[in-house]
Amino acid sequence: MLSFPFYFSIIHLMSVISVRDLKFRYDEKISLLDGISFDIEEGDYVAIVGRNGSGKSTLAKLLIGLETPDEGTITIDGKLLDDSNIDQIRRKMGIVFQNPDNQFIGATVRDDIAFGLENRCIESGEMNHLIEKYADRVGLVKLLDKEPEALSGGQKQRVAISGVLAMQPEIIILDEATSMLDPMGRRTIRELVEALHRERGLTIISITHDIEEAMDADECIVLNEGRIYAQGRPEEVFSDAAGIRSIGLDIPFLARVREAFRKHGIELESSDEEKMVGELWQLASGR
């Protein structure tokens, strides 16, 4: 019988991101992360949810090495993240932040997408091809020469995603990338992210407090007060309505519908609106 450490190390090798006992203190009194451990497999779309102050934004910064944990380890693609290899590891990752203006560096869309390429010392001639290709992927070719002031929040976030894609990362982190957008903008970004996940098998980590967005993911990690409150498939995690509400989050619309019907003695099984209506009709005509 092979020992536990052996299995442990195998899992370690398969996961693209491994976090162990991560702790991060803001000062002596306030602990933002209080011992987090989880694994993310290659190609997963993981949502990390929690209210403001749950530690989720800190986690994003730690994963991309913008902050150093006080305790614990982060392993990316088998390599332990530390100061010596942070630049190397960052080449595999891209991050989109929350504020569309405060990550838009270039004077125009083109220049902003080029920024990351310039840092990688890509040849000037090659850059144009990459810029056009990835601007096209996010639907911004017509806006390439526009200045940021002329763009909406959703468009600016698409520029950020385009800039990230141009670096061809394996892992994309979205740090509340939709929370400052209007519903239309949020929908555009959600659809884009889902499409990218499907097409390219990228590992996507989406940090959000938007529950409907979290439902898009394969797996959900719920944080509360710096610890993991729950982990698993979104439908499972959000089925505990009372618990989720107690930590300052809301449950998805369909879960609320199910909950409301439960009060009237009707248990609905479907996770899809169309099927739910069908179930209700069955019940109605069955009588």
Partner 1 sequence: MAIGFRKISYIYDADMPYFHDALKSIDLDIREHRITAIIGETGSGKSTLVQHLNALLIPQLGHIEILDHVIRPGKKNRKLKQLRKDVGLVFQFPEYQLFEESVLEDAAFGPRSFGYSKEEALDRARKALASVGIPESFFDRNPMELSGGQKRRVAIAGILASDPRILVLDEPTAGLDPDGTRLLLDIVLSLNREHGRTVIIVSHDNDMVYSYSDDTVLMSNGRVVYSGDTLSLFNNSRLIEENHLLVPRIVELKNRLREAGFEVSPSTRTVDELAEEIAGEIGR
Partner 2 sequence: MMRAGFGKYIALDSPFHRLDPRAKLLALVILVVSVFIPLNWSSYFLLAIVVFIVIRLSYLKLSFVLRTMKPLLFLLVFLFIINALTLKRGELLFEWRPLALYEDAVVFTVRIGIRLFLMIAFTTCLTATTKPLDLTLAIEYILSPLGIIKFPVHEVAMMISIALRFIPTLSSEAGRIMNAQKSRGVDFEEGRLFEKASAILSVAVPLFTIAFERAYQLADAMEARGYVPGAERTRYRALRYRRADGVLLSLSLTILVLMIISRICL
Which residues of the shown chain bind partner 2 in the complex (CB under 8 A)?
A: 61, 64, 66, 87, 90-91, 94-95, 97, 99, 101-107, 110-111, 114-124, 127, 131, 147-149, 163, 167
Whether 118 is catalytic: no
Q: Considering CB distances under 5 to 8 angstroms, the limit depending on partner class, which of partner 1, partner 2, none binds residue 256?
A: partner 1
**Size of residue set near partner 1 by CB under 8 A:** 32
| Selected catalytic residue, list 67, 71, 123, 176 | 176
Beta strands in 60-213 (DSSP E): 71-76, 79-80, 93-96, 171-175, 203-208
CB of 272 to partner 1, least distance (A): 11
C-alpha–C-alpha distance, residues 200 and 94, integer Å: 14
211, 217, 215, 231: which is closest to 39 by C-alpha? 231
Question: How far from 24 is each of 18, 61, 207, 221, CA to CA, in Å?
Answer: 16, 11, 17, 18
Find which of partner 1, partner 2, none residue 40 binds, CB within 5 to 8 Å per kind: none
Element (H, E) at 34: strand 31-41
Q: Toward partner 2, which CB reaches closer, 12 or 129?
A: 129
85 alpha-carbon distance from chain centroid? 23
How far apart (Å, rounded) are the C-alpha atoms in residues 47 and 64? Answer: 16
CB nearer to partner 2: give 127 or 257: 127
Q: Judged by CB under 8 A, which stretch of 13-21, 72-80, 100-108, 279-287 contacts partner 1?
A: 279-287
Residue 209 binds to partner 1 (criterion: CB under 8 A): yes
Q: To 10 degrees, the CA torsion angle through 21, 25, 29, 34?
A: -20
| 7 is a site residue for partner 1 (CB under 8 A) | no
Task: Report which of 261, 271, 262, 204 is spatially closest to residue 234, judged by C-alpha positions.
Answer: 271
Binding site for partner 1 (CB under 8 A): 51-53, 152, 179-180, 182-184, 209, 211, 248-250, 253, 256-257, 260-261, 263-266, 273-274, 277-278, 280-281, 283-284, 287
- Give catalytic residue positions: 176
